Amino acid sequence: MNYKDLCEQVIEVAKMAGGFIREESLAFNSSHIEYKGLNDMVSYVDKTAEAKIINELSLLLPDSGFIAEEGTQNATAERFNWIIDPLDGTTNFIHGIPTYAVSIALKENDELVVGVIYEINRDECFYAWKGSEAFLNGKRISVSENKDLSSSLIATGFPYYDFKRQQSYINLFNDVMQKCHGLRRIGAASVDLAYTACGRFDAYFEYNLKPWDIAAGLLILKQAGGEYFDFSGGTNALETCDVVATNGKLSVELNNIIKHHFNTNNHD
């Protein structure tokens, strides 16, 4: 398998879907919104973009399976499975806030081997493949060199459903805000991970995510020299979808803070 060639083809698919989303944003209105659950919105834009992506990826790897947010096709395969968020940042898109992205990852057995994130409004494509460095629009990227939380800019997200751990999260916000340069919430997990991979953020944490939010970003971050783990400090972030991503130099300090607020009792 030539992962580099495959990644380049996936970039074209992501940009194709991004172009469709960009065009639709010009005339989109709230009458097109559907609700999948509490504060969980979707529109024909998400669904159509996903269908377009799946159609193209099926041609690249005919026997591959799909794990996709909108469920237009969710049949997994034995070896290769695409993990797709056709429009990460749907709430931003619906409200006209210009940060949202197409996120596509390929998992071979249990290993992420291709990751592409196309942030539509800035026309920025982040990508990596197994064994590669990480790139942004053709230029190599790497995580920041910042060693101190006190001089770091940290990204996070807010839970929009399942509020059982909300108080622990608020306590965590309070703690981190007093120990860093600033805490930012963009509203698209894939972009948070991409920005951590290229050093704009020094670290990122969020819980209650989904695999399609983070799969591509986790690979790109890793290939950019970063680290990721779950809220317990373990290696199952893609499975638990509780994610801490860092430049590798802040891991211990940030992990200790998060574990202080999210012990096993907080998960019940």
Name the residue ranges covered by the structural domains of the chain: 3-141, 149-267
**Distance in angstroms (rounded) separating the CA atoms of residues 45 and 19:** 11
Which tens digit of pLDDT belongs to each residue from 78-100? 999 999 999 999 889 988 999 99
pLDDT of residue 38: 46
pLDDT of residue 188: 97
Q: List phi, psi (to 5°) of 6.
A: -65, -40
Residues contacting residue 83 through CB under 8 Å, at least 6 positions apart: 67, 68, 104, 105, 106, 107, 211, 212, 215, 216
Binding-site residue ranges: 69, 85, 87-88, 213
| Predicted pLDDT at 73 | 65
Strand order across the 203-206 sheet: 182-184, 153-156, 203-206, 243-246, 227-229
Contact 25, 49 (CB under 8 A): no
pLDDT score at 158: 84
For the chain, strand residue ranges (E) read 34-37, 40-42, 65-68, 80-88, 101-108, 111-119, 124-129, 134-136, 139-141, 153-156, 182-184, 203-206, 227-229, 243-246
Measure Cα distances from 65 to 50, 74, 123, 217 in Å: 14, 7, 28, 20
214 vs 72, which has greater pLDDT?
Answer: 214
Indicate whether 264 pLDDT > 50: no
Tokens of 54: 């799946």
Whether 265 and 259 have beta carbons less than 8 Å apart is answered as no
What's residue 17's pLDDT?
Answer: 98
Cβ 112 vs Cβ 105: under 8 Å: yes
Across all residues in the chain, what is the average pLDDT? 90
Q: What percent of the chain has pLDDT over 70?
A: 91
Tens digit of pLDDT for each residue in 139-192?
999 999 999 999 999 999 987 666 778 888 889 999 999 999 999 999 999 999
List, as residue ranges, the binding site for Mg(2+): 69, 85, 87-88, 213
The CATH label, of 3.30.540.10, 3.50.50.60, 3.40.50.300, 3.30.2290.10, for the domain at 3-141 is 3.30.540.10
Position 70 confidence tier, pLDDT thresholds 50, 70, 90: confident
pLDDT tens string 199-215 = 999 999 998 899 999 99
Both tokens of 22, joined, read 């960009």
pLDDT given for residue 268 in this prediction = 38
Alpha-carbon Rg for the chain in angstroms: 18
Question: What's residue 31's pLDDT?
Answer: 57
Q: What percent of the chain is modeled with pLDDT above 90?
A: 73
Residue 30: the pLDDT is: 65
Pick the CATH number of 149-267 from 3.40.30.10, 3.50.50.60, 3.40.190.80, 3.40.50.720: 3.40.190.80
The per-residue pLDDT for range 239-258, each reduced to its tens digit, is 998 999 999 999 999 999 99
User: pTM of the full predicted structure?
Assistant: 0.92
List pLDDT tens digits, range 28-39.
766 556 655 544
Angle at 101 between CA 30 and CA 200, to 5 degrees: 125
What is the helix (H) or strand (E) element at residue 79, kind and residue range?
none
* pLDDT tens string 7-61: 999 999 999 999 999 998 888 766 556 655 544 456 788 889 999 999 999 999 9
